Amino acid sequence: MRIAPSPTPDDSAATSPSDVDAELDAAADAEADAAADDGVVDHADSTAQPPAAPSDTGAFDRALVVVHGMGNAYRSQILLEWAEPLLSRMDWLARDRVIGAADRHGVAIHESDLSGDLPIITATVRSPGPRAQAAGAPAEDDDDVVQRIAIIEARWSESFVPMSRGQIFQWAVVFMWRMIRRVLGLFLGTMVLVPWYTLVRHWNKPPGAPRKLPKGVDLVIDTVRLAVCSIAFAVTWMFLVLLALVLTPILPLISPLLLIPWFKNVAQGFIDGIIESIGDVAAWKERPVRASAMRLVVRDALTRAKELVGDDGDVHLFAHSQGAAVATLALFEELRPSDYNVSRLTTVGAAVVLLGRDRWLGRPDEYKPVSDWLKRNAEADAHRGVKWANYWAIWDPFSAGPIADTATGRRERWRNAYFPGRSTAQGPEEHAVHNTSQPFLDHSVYFQNTIQVVEPTARHLLGPEFPPAPVAVAQVENLLSVIDKKSLGINMLAAVVIAAILPGLPGVYAAFATLASWVAGAIGFMIGVFPGGQDVAEAVPATIAAASFVTDPDGLNPWSWLIASGFTLAVLIWLNQRLSTVTRRSREWDRCPIEPRHWLVLSSIPRAAYVAGAVICAWFAIFAWSRPPLEWLVASAVILLIVAVFVFVEPLYAPVPVIVPARTDDDAANTLALAGIPAPMKLRDAVATDGFQKDLAARRRLLSPQGWRAEVWAGWFHDWPKSAEAPAPEAVATTD
């Protein structure tokens, strides 16, 4: 990090400031074009642009090495997957007017080599300096802080020879049962133990202690939640165990079956996809030589990163899924982190505990990553220890929770994520996050979790000098993000209920068949228009008749029902995703503040519509399919209404995970880490704090919405543009 412009030459840089200033005007336009082409818009004024940072030794303040997870990753895939959201968020943070940003601040991309031997992206981040941060208004150029950042990838997926299909599938039987046990343990905690612990804590809360709801209401909600979630877990347990029982005899036979021509033609593509996903996992566990080749890629990337930052810069290692197991073992067992200037390790969806280390025949398959981490930190000096943060989604089956050396320690740290208490288990800083609230999807979308994963990582890259968000503001954003993701999952479940029932209701399939007839007729019309085909009068009826399995109003059967349900589910999922994207973007990216209660009301409208649709479909199904007596019909309506109310309010009152501080064998460090984690607050308490109210008031004064969506929000909630404050003359002078 340096303050720009630097009054003296920077010995760690490849070029001197005077040389850079001479090149600045000629490079400005090219830098702006490169930034726009690479997905990050450079808003800075060209006359105040930072220099293009060369890819030479010591030219950067910080380097990030990203390591991909299991599967056949193509060149630059993991680099783009994480560099784009991280640079976008750093640009967003650096241009925050509340901390005194002006138009010259933000990200400028200098190099985006995505096809070289070692893909790399280099950028400069210019942010407000101490004077601007203190005043909350732009200062002169000499106050600016400039961070030079390089991002490189460690792609190990082509560094080894894959195992044969037969070897992989034989290994997969044992590994499958181990993974299912861990998945069921995670789901047991998330679906059963969290509701149970919540019920007990609410019931045992002493008289006079603050409550969100009366004790009786808490008891009803907690009991219903526990019952529903226990039933859901039982269904999930049966499905996964039955699936494993079916696959156990089948997996070893898949490779011989490929010798049959017709089976190979049908299943070859699907099986090759499975091999690409789990083949490298098998090689990691069963072939130590190939596992060493994977770790060598990480070492080479760290070597290059050390060259880029020189002796004074910092290297951050960021690893996902299997890449976390590869990177952790390489960093803490084979390398000395201080030799590579590694100051921070971030793991997301980490399969460290699931995969462990490579297994040599005749050796115990024992791996203690936390002990290795603590040992390396003890060997380093006070300024070269590695800070480790682990992010795991609550529905991610591969990470399956926190990292510790023992099962007891993992359970303790998992419980502390929901119910903070006395902790003795050692481990990294744990972040339980909400990605999509959908099992088997959470593992691959960490890079889309802006608030809980991307922003903390971006702030680490910006360095400790960058001003942190007020505690209350950060906690409000986290709580709203959790509510949003829980709503996304509830809407998905409601969409499944609607899609499964709706086509079978009287008259509904006839309407669907009519719509399908219109679509088929339009296709037939287009066929008849083109020369050489049938006449339109013949083509339209022929096309409708060819699709009679979905166009016949009286032709409802299991297959047509399945097709109609699939179409309905696709539409509902698409609509759910679009609505979620709009509400999430308005909160995370549009610089238009909104009070949480207003956002909660607006974001609850889609959830109410989906839940109401599911309840109405279920009630009409009971009425149409079973024709019960009136009293049973009324009773079913009351029960469905109670369930609907519970499902609707559940995202607002369910427990929200908190950060579990890192715990080592150093009591002083443990105390410091615990002090650095703010105490969790309820949403209404966080909103009422002076920190949140001052931040909201400052953003209203500086309101300058960008884009029609932000302008609409500003007009609704802040009477914009009438409420916009005229910029101060000195602020205008610094940005011209």
What share of residues in the chain are helix, strand, coil (percent, to 5)?
60, 10, 30
Over residues 547-560, the mean pLDDT reads 75
User: Residue 534: its pLDDT value, please?
Assistant: 59
Assess whether 282 and 294 both reside in one domain: no
Query: What is the structure's pLDDT at 50?
Result: 45
Q: Give how many domains the chain has, as a whole number.
A: 4
Tell me, what DSSP letter sits at residue 663? B
CA neighbor of 655 nearest in space, from 423, 455, 394: 394
Please report the pLDDT score of residue 389 as a whole number: 95
Residues 196 and 314 in one domain: no
Summarize pLDDT for 155-210 with one digit per residue, the tens. Answer: 988 888 777 777 777 788 888 888 888 889 888 988 899 999 988 888 888 887 77
Q: Is residue 480 part of a domain?
A: no
What integer is the mean pLDDT of 21-25? 39
pLDDT of 14 higher than 50? no
Mean pLDDT across 472-500? 91
Phi, psi dihedral angles at 319 (to 5 degrees): -135, 145
What is the three-state SS of 293-334? HHHHHHHHHHHHHHHHHCCCCEEEEEEECHHHHHHHHHHHHH
- Domain stop point among 228, 262, 286: 286
pLDDT tens-digit series, residues 689-706: 998 988 888 888 888 777
What pLDDT, on a 0 to 100 scale, did the predictor assign at position 264?
A: 67
Question: Is residue 632 situated within a structural domain?
Answer: yes
Does some domain include residue 623? yes
pLDDT range class, residue 427, cuts 50, 70, 90 = very high
Residue 481 within any structural domain of the chain: no
Domain hosting residue 710, numbered range: 679-735
Q: What is the pLDDT of residues 93-145, one digit of tens each?
A: 999 988 988 889 999 999 998 887 889 999 999 999 888 888 878 888 888 99
Which among 170-174, 212-216, 233-237 has the top mean pLDDT?
Answer: 233-237
- On whether residue 666 sits in a domain, the answer given is no
DSSP for 685-719, please give it.
HHHHSHHHHHHHHHHHHT----SHHHHHHHHHHH-
Residue carrying the six token digits 């984690």: 677
Query: 612 with 523, same domain?
Result: yes
Instruction: Give yes or no for residue 301 having a pLDDT over 90.
Output: yes
Could you report the per-residue pLDDT of 72-100, keeping only the tens digit for each?
788 888 999 999 999 999 999 999 988 98
Show Cβ contacts of residue 98 under 8 Å, excluding neighbours closer than 6 positions: 136, 695, 698, 699, 702
In this prediction, residue 729 carries a pLDDT of 40
Q: How many helices (H) and strands (E) does the chain have?
A: 25, 9
CB atoms inside a 10 Å sphere around CB 722: 7
Q: What is the CATH number of the domain that holds 409?
A: 3.40.50
Q: How confident is the model at residue 266 (pLDDT cuts 50, 70, 90)?
A: low
The answer to whether residues 270 and 331 belong to one domain is no
Based on the domain organization, do 312 and 253 belong to the same domain? no
pLDDT band for 373, please (50, 70, 90 cuts): very high
- Check if the beta carbon of residue 144 is closer than 8 Å to that of residue 82: no
Pull the structure tokens for residue 341.
């200037």
Better-predicted residue by pLDDT, 677 or 165: 677
Are residue 28 and residue 14 in the same domain, yes or no?
yes
Domain boundary among 269, 286, 303: 286
Q: Of 32-36, 249-253, 532-536, which gets the smallest average pLDDT?
A: 32-36
- Same structural domain for residues 464 and 519? no
pLDDT of residue 725: 52
- Rounded distance between C-alpha atoms, residue 24 and residue 26, angstroms: 6
pLDDT of residue 137: 83
Name the band, by pLDDT with cuts 50, 70 and 90, for residue 726: very low
The answer to whether residues 194 and 250 belong to one domain is yes
Q: What confidence score (pLDDT) does residue 228 get?
A: 84
Per the prediction, the chain carries an average pLDDT of: 82
Based on the fold, state whether residues 66 and 114 are members of the same structural domain. yes
Residues 311 and 228 reside in one and the same domain:
no
DSSP 437: S
> What pLDDT score does 221 carry?
82
Q: What is the pTM of this model?
A: 0.83
Would the pLDDT of 305 be above 60? yes
175 belongs to a structural domain: yes
Residue that terminates a domain, selected from 649, 671, 700: 649
Could you tell me if residue 662 is inside a domain? no
User: What HEC string does 370-406 produce?
Assistant: HHHHHHHHHHCCCCCCCEEEEEEECCCCCCCCCCCCC
Q: For residues 10 and 53, state if they share a domain.
A: yes
Tokens standing for residue 48: 């105040």
638 & 491 share domain: yes
Compute the distance between CA of residue 57 and CA of residue 705 in angstroms, rounded to an integer: 41
DSSP per residue, 570-616: HHHHHHHHHHHHHHHHHHHTSS----HHHHHHHHHHHHHHHHHHHHH
- Please give the average per-residue pLDDT across 435-444, as a whole number: 83
In a domain, 282, yes or no: yes
Q: Is 324's pLDDT higher than 70?
A: yes
Q: Cis peptide leading into 5, omega within 30 of 0?
A: yes
Interatomic CA distance for residues 570 and 101, integer angstroms: 43
Task: For residue 284, give the nearest of 180, 357, 365, 372 by alpha carbon.
Answer: 357
Q: Is 293's pLDDT higher than 80?
A: yes
Tell me the C-alpha distance between 48 and 34, whole Å.
17
